[in-house]
Amino acid sequence: MRRKLTTPIMYDNNPTLDGIKQIDESRQGTALYKEQWADSFAPGGKQFYIESYGCQMNFSDSEIVASILAEVGYTPTRNAEQSDLILINTCSIREKAEETVRKRLRAFESIKQERPGTMVGVLGCMAERLKKKWLEEEKLVDLVVGPDAYRDLPKLIGAAEDGQRMINVLLSREETYSDINPVRLESNGITAFISIMRGCDNMCSFCVVPFTRGRERSRDPFSILAEATNLFENGYREVTLLGQNVDSYKWDNPETGQHVDFADLLEMVAQINPLLRVRFSTSHPKDMTDKVLQNMARYDNICKYIHLPVQSGNSRVLELMNRTYDRPWYENRIEAIRQILPDAAVSSDIIAGFCSETEEEHQDTLSIIEWANFSMSYMFYYSERPGTLAAKRYADDVPLEVKKRRLNEIIRLQTAISLRHNQADIGKTFEVLIEGDSRKSDQDFCGRNSQNKMIVFPKKEGLKPGDYTMVTVKDATSATLLGDIAS
Ligand code: SAH
Ligand code: SF4
Ligand code: F3S
């Protein structure tokens, strides 16, 4: 029997309210592996264990890392205790995210004591942010590799195997890993993520991402189409196109001069096959064009769901955040969605207690949540990040208790609105892509509708994951819809 490492869950700095736990980016730090690889593991080969934190792009990067490591004979395992290489792909977005990673490293210390040959590598945004501090502060760390340096891993690992401690945190203006076919880790075989761009040029004042991920660059569309087509041919039925700001995707064909923007790319991916659903994340309100919305309306297989983070409902705070839009602009984008895509669901990210935010300004955030009728939101309180514009320019002057109280109010309101949003679906029938068994019962399937709502329903003979089926909603909680297959 293989010993299982307990999957660590990464909770954010947010309090628990009414039993709802806020999980960072809704993601769990996950031991990534695929059962059949562990079984096909060749004796004598080397094994790596990888744990990922943060946003979907980081999870997607871990799949690129797995692909690079496969080339030098490393197979993934879920057993950190027996691996030759432990990697932790880290997130810097909030202080709490960094603390979680530091705590996880303590758990790896005992593994390293038992098996001194085990190498430990720090990847991702914390590697980029803290650079050689890792080697100074954490004795167990052998490798520090930033998000643009993963191609260098084989060389760095080779040197680390010889006992050297290695670091590469160079950021690139070109790297998109477009030629690397990611090894799908922890996959349900039905849904997959495709990174279409890297980095971010936006400089929101609270955000560390431009510093950890570098300049924005878009991947060539043909490699994206090839990846999506390949996934479809291998049974996948949904792809999510990933970028920090997908609306600023742009690519110019050096040979023909043809310009491809995000709306064009969406259309190209949607045309691969009507049975391949297309999603995307994240949209930035300043860049989301009507052309994107119109292309979404033209293709049934482009899901009617937009994650459009507002951050704050107050124009003064938005300006301090350097979001480059104000409240009326955001409202205009929501109105465009309502008009062009009347069935679409919109979700959001919200920050409570940004520098100098007043009670009235906090009320504006509550009122935009109500007005926009978000189907759900990821909600956080402000966490100052060293080196950001906000850290340099503004005092982090909203007391922690006030931040927490405001966040609680936001969570309470959003939970009520999510419940109302979901209850409005009772009696409606949706097309659902079956993703697998529901978490609670193997008698039930789960899958999402176009609006990204998870629906749980009793299985029916002949249906399997990857199939589409019509489901009528019978009941709803704030997080899930419950239904029956429509007869
Ligand atoms: N590129 C995306 C967001 C990526 S980070 C966008 O622009 O919408 C995900 C979310 O984390 C952000 O939307 C924001 O709500 C939150 N976040 C980022 N920095 C933060 C900080 N310093 N404190 C609290 N929340 C933060
Ligand atoms: Fe951060 Fe803003 Fe870029 Fe999003 S758009 S990653 S919040 S700087
Ligand atoms: Fe975190 Fe880096 Fe993503 S800071 S949210 S892992 S881009």
CA separation (Å) from 456 to 147, 193, 236? Answer: 36, 22, 20
- Cβ atoms of 86 and 120 within 8 Å: the answer is yes
pLDDT of residue 264: 98
Q: What's the predicted TM-score (pTM) here?
A: 0.91
pLDDT band at 9 (very low <50, low <70, confident <90, very high): very low
Neighbouring residues of 129: CB distance < 8 A, sequence distance ≥ 6:
92, 208, 211, 212, 386, 387
Whether residue 37 has pLDDT greater than 70 = no
Whether residue 315 has pLDDT greater than 70 = yes
- Cβ atoms of 153 and 241 within 8 Å: the answer is no
CATH number of 190-303: 3.30.750.210
pLDDT of residue 487: 74
Q: What is the pLDDT of residues 43-93, one digit of tens each?
A: 458 999 999 999 999 999 999 999 999 989 999 999 999 899 999 999 999
- Cβ atoms of 353 and 406 within 8 Å: the answer is yes
Count the Cβ atoms, other than its own, within 10 Å of residue 358. Answer: 12
- Cβ atoms of 234 and 190 within 8 Å: the answer is no
Q: What is the pLDDT of residues 226-240, one digit of tens each?
A: 999 999 999 999 999
On the question of a common fold for 2-168 and 429-485, the answer reads no
pLDDT of residue 44: 54
**Residue nearest to ligand 2 atom 2, measured at CA:** 204
**DSSP letter string over 310-358?**
-B-S-HHHHHHTT-S--HHHHHHHHHHHHHH-TT-EEEEEEEES-TT--
Whether residue 322 has pLDDT greater than 90 = yes
Cα(209) to centroid of ligand 2, in Å? 6
Alpha carbon of residue 30 to chain centroid: 13
Beta-strand relationship, 277-281 and 444-448: unpaired
Whether residue 35 has pLDDT greater than 60 = no
| Domain ranges (residues) in the chain | 2-168, 190-303, 429-485
Q: What is the DSSP letter of 6?
A: P
Cα(93) to centroid of ligand 1, in Å? 7
Region 283-294: what's the mean pLDDT?
Answer: 97
Fold classification of 2-168 is Rossmann fold (3.40.50)
Q: What is the mean pLDDT of the chain?
A: 91
State which of 53, 125, 171 you would mutate to test the pocket of ligand 3, scoring each by most atoms of that ligand within 8 A of its C-beta.
125
CA separation (Å) from 94 to 57, 355, 385, 418? Answer: 16, 15, 7, 25
Identify which of 315, 266, 308 has the alpha carbon closest to the alpha carbon of residue 286.
Answer: 308
Return the half-sphere exposure (C-beta side, CA atoms, 13 A cut-off) of residue 445. Answer: 26
CATH number of 429-485: 2.40.50.140
Q: What is the pLDDT of residues 448-478, one digit of tens each?
A: 999 999 999 999 999 999 999 999 999 999 9
pLDDT of residue 29: 35
Q: What is the pLDDT of residues 103-155, one digit of tens each?
A: 999 999 999 999 989 999 999 999 999 999 999 999 999 999 999 999 999 99
The span from the CA of 226 to the CA of 220, in Å, is 10
Tokens encoding 254: 């050096």
Q: Which residues line ligand 2 (CB under 6 A)?
A: 200, 202-204, 207, 209-210, 244-245, 284
Cα(462) to centroid of ligand 2, in Å? 44
